[in-house]
Amino acid sequence: MHREEIIDERSRIAGYRFNTHWLTSKTAVDGASRLELLLKEAIGNLVQRRLAIIPINTQDWQAHDFRQLATPGTAFLVQAPISGCDEPGWLSILAEIRACGAKVALSGAAIGVSGALDAADLLILNFGDYSLEAFERVVSDIKRRYPSLQLMVENITSWAEHRLCQARGIPYSLGEFAAQADEEDTREKLNQSRLVLIELLQLLRQDADAAALADVAKRDPAVALKVVSMANSPAAGLGSSVASVDQAITVLGRSYLYRWLTISMFRIGGSPRDEGLLELALRRARFLEILAQNRLQKHEADELFLVGLLSLIEVLLGMPVDKVITGMNLPDSVTSVLVNSDGPYTRYLTLAIAVERGQMEHVAKVAGLLNLDALTVEAANYEAQRWTEQALTAGD
């Protein structure tokens, strides 16, 4: 199951389009298998806060119980009918989907079907199908004729294209650009607070004592204050208040502190886009860590987590990764893959990126080189997604 991020007008991850592929075969995934995978993805939990777009054809809708996935946050992307097929019957399926409480999404191929856009809630246009002039003309015409129809554009390859769509009043974009640098954002965002957080993460990895951690935290008042306030929160369950950073670090515990530092490194800038990068980085890091478990040494699994986490730091901070990690005292194996795309962890990171992009042939090839089977990769991807959602919704 491949989740393709939907990016909204605030540069946040607003939801996902769920695409299913066989890892070792080019044949289409049958409806029963697709439904089984979707149920495993716990769509019901996701749609409480995000949009889920589920591609489907009318035959699968009729043959399998996709109705159990129908919610106001679910949009079934219904395949357009083949020319000459029973269009009234196809339209009745759209009405049935809406009657179940879900949304109907259509692709640009359905524009020419009489009555189709009247029966839809969401229209997905392919950016690559149009010249810029034709794209603007089509968007303007659709917005004029169907003012309540939401628009989304797929195959967006850059933040500049995403902004172009926003300027035309299109709130949602689909594409691989979410994990890419913004060409127009030339600001370096490695401020003092982030430097302190990175150094604290490294000290935790080295099992430094609480006094050493506190000395670094005190260099940034905002970080020190946050650590103390967390220790004094009701969740900590203390009978008396904590006044020092040293004591707060001891109270919070290393695992909780590591998680907070990791998330704060992305969140400290306050940008919705940084929150999306955090989600991608955590998912990538956990995926790599899971793959290493029971195959590599514990310290190697920890290092792979760090590789995944820091693999997007250049995009986050808008500066070369070698400049970011200078002075972090990272293991050579971590530095090598991040700076030079070389070393023992390179194939693992390559696999993670291929999984994120839904490049199934590449996934199968790299997984084979790592002696990983399809079930192991699929299970790691699912568990990484589940873990990331829990980490981000559990609160700081």
Which architecture does CATH list for 2-179? Alpha-Beta Barrel (3.20)
pLDDT tens digits, 146-172: 999 999 999 999 999 999 999 999 999
pLDDT, position 54: 95
Give the start-to-end residue ranges of the domains of the chain. 2-179, 269-393
Q: What is the pLDDT of residues 100-144, one digit of tens each?
A: 999 999 999 999 898 999 999 999 999 999 999 999 999 999 999
Residue 396 is predicted with a pLDDT of 44
Say if CB 388 and CB 279 are below 8 A apart.
yes
For residue 384, name the pLDDT band (cuts at 50, 70, 90): very high
State the chain's mean pLDDT as an integer.
86
pTM of the model: 0.78
pLDDT at 45: 76
The whole-angstrom distance between residue 248's C-alpha and the CA centroid of its chain comes to 32
> What three-state secondary structure class fits 106?
strand
- Helices 272-292 and 254-267, axial angle in degrees (round to 10): 140
Using one digit for the tens of pLDDT, what is the confidence trace for 316-362?
A: 777 788 877 776 667 889 899 999 999 999 999 999 999 998 888 89
Residue 16, strand partner residues:
5, 52
Report yes or no: 284 and 352 within 8 Å, Cβ to Cβ.
yes
Which tokens belong to 222?
């905002």
